[in-house]
Chain A
């Protein structure tokens, strides 16, 4: 095959997409507004903060025209809190720390007042919609952290964190500690991904679902080949079993309706 890349998207591509994340900057120079394909950029007036796509923020940072204000999750304190959640959690062992809630799906147990909520946008036809990642402000800086709220890792945590450490480490609080924590988080979560094949086992044959909630973009990219390979292998080996199950189900459907059967199978099986 002439196409050289593996299936899915590669780390440089994921990283490229992460550069669309919006971040907060503190401009050091005035700059006129820009009309970009991705939307207009407001004029930069020095003491006033601005929100820009990461790629532009990094460019201005390299040219020393701006400082980047790190997002609140990229702070040693927040990161060690998240790391605690990842490593403890007795009851939901193997689960990932929860992702930031979506703006139109407020979390049930908590009410946030100070969280940066996505502003509803309007399509050219005037329909209201909420942007999804990467157009959610998951990486902008907030003045005071919402009270009592645990920090959450955004979808592009690894990419944004790594890029900011690389290009703007002087803007971060304790970059060395941050770097160490990011690395630790990555290792803890990566070993969780690997031990997750046990779940894949029942998921592939039983018609269940594997939850990847809270897993970041780069982590999904890293595991894509392996996970899909395992699921495909399980599907192939279990094909005859699945076939038998379907035939049995079809037989039950044919003779007297599905509801009449007193089988141990619960309704979940119907999903498949």
Chain B
């Protein structure tokens, strides 16, 4: 089927415009991070930081306890995502593949859980953790983040599990695999895109969460990175350069994760059912 010249060109034109629209604020963050302070607040915007400087990145990284905060954030986020994937996969499998009493209740229950307004329950969470004497520990944060992303993980993975043809699983079992093996060898790879989007979602959510983290972990050694981002807005001036440098650094792991996961996911897709 041949398409007209116009038909071929307009999607690309729109794509470019959209690309600019979506990227610009992000570009502005990175560009600002590289601008000397004098160019940041400026009557005429400095579009490209020709007067390149790493000064803001240095300020950002030199902040007290930066290394500790990185370790804390990575620990909490990775553990929360991994736990929620494991728990989520169990549940998703049960909900998608098995018939049992109360199944509907579970599904609705997780949907309700997904609606939980964590942001306004902060004080309640704080008081529980305080009274359990677990403040300034990474354990509660990890567990709360895990539960925060768990409903989404379960419900999304359920869709992906359900979409895997049952015949596939059965044929594997006919070939002598146990149910567990069938799951691991056949279903799991097909779930790659689902695992990609849920882990990405989990990572972004846990990585970005700040209302709970700020109140629970106030000790310098127990802070996570969201405490670091606003720390450059001080009474001596809002160091926007450093703030943006910190934000850039903060965003980079998510970007890398996406690049990594996307390759996996595409590989999963091409190996899987779609291509046939």
Are these two chains actual partners, yes or no?
no
